[in-house]
Amino acid sequence: MPEIATPDFAADEARFREEGRKLFAGECTFILGAAALVQVPDSDLPEIAFAGRSNVGKSSLVNGLTGRKNVARTSVTPGRTQQLNFFSIGDRLLLADLPGYGYARAPKSEVDAWTRLVKTYLMGRPQLRRVCMLVDSRHGLKTNDREVMKDLDEAAVNYQIVMTKSDKVKPGALERTVAAVKAEAATHAAAFPEIAVTSSHTGTGLAELRASLSQLALPVANR
């Protein structure tokens, strides 16, 4: 009988981590901030978008992934960055940092503008490979997260839920929140079953996220 090779998951994981480390340690360039859809860069690179409520820790996560302090500006006033900010990672991957949603004091006109801009972007970006939906570990899923998840399901855009600020929650509470989020994600067609748990302050989960995202980048040989 022919021998069946068993996959070496540990070796794959180590290789993906190394690929992720290398990719995000390399060149990272701010491309542009788009306040309107016509300004979104014309690019053939695979793209990953970061979405989440304002103050969820999005800029900190983008900075944490790239190991730089100021790639994405961390917000002083939440909900005030109404731009989609694009970064090129090693000329193999684009990151799109979407404006945060759900800022309680934002005027309705601003919320409507966000909805129009982000929805149109999410629905009509063929190179968009994945959305990282950031969720604060202290709060779990909120109404506006669920609305975005529904939109992503309808547009068939794959998304992965990434818990942020995990250092702010005690392990037991974190486990319960992650389990609840995971159970809810399982009811959404386009959501990844696995939840990433991260902290930009301690670095928890960043190597794993880099590894996973690097698998979506263009291969080195293509550039």
Which positions lie near ligand GDP, rule CB under 6 A?
A: 52, 54-60, 74-75, 78, 100, 164-165, 167-168, 199-201
CB-nearer residue toward ligand GDP: 73 or 119: 73
At 93 the three-state DSSP class reads strand
At 29 the three-state DSSP class reads strand
Query: Quick one: tokens of 188?
Result: 């959404």
CA 123 to chain centre: 16
CB-nearer residue toward ligand GDP: 55 or 160: 55
- Contact between 67 and 24 under an 8 Å Cβ cutoff? The reply is yes
**Least distance (Å) from ligand GDP to the CB of residue 107?**
18
CB-nearer residue toward ligand GDP: 56 or 195: 56
**Least distance (Å) from ligand GDP to the CB of residue 74?**
3
At 191 the three-state DSSP class reads strand
CB-nearer residue toward ligand GDP: 20 or 205: 205
**Least distance (Å) from ligand GDP to the CB of residue 130?**
18
**Least distance (Å) from ligand GDP to the CB of residue 80?**
9
CA distance 113 to 108: 9
Q: Are strands 47-52 and 93-97 parallel, antiparallel or unpaired?
A: parallel
At 217 the three-state DSSP class reads coil
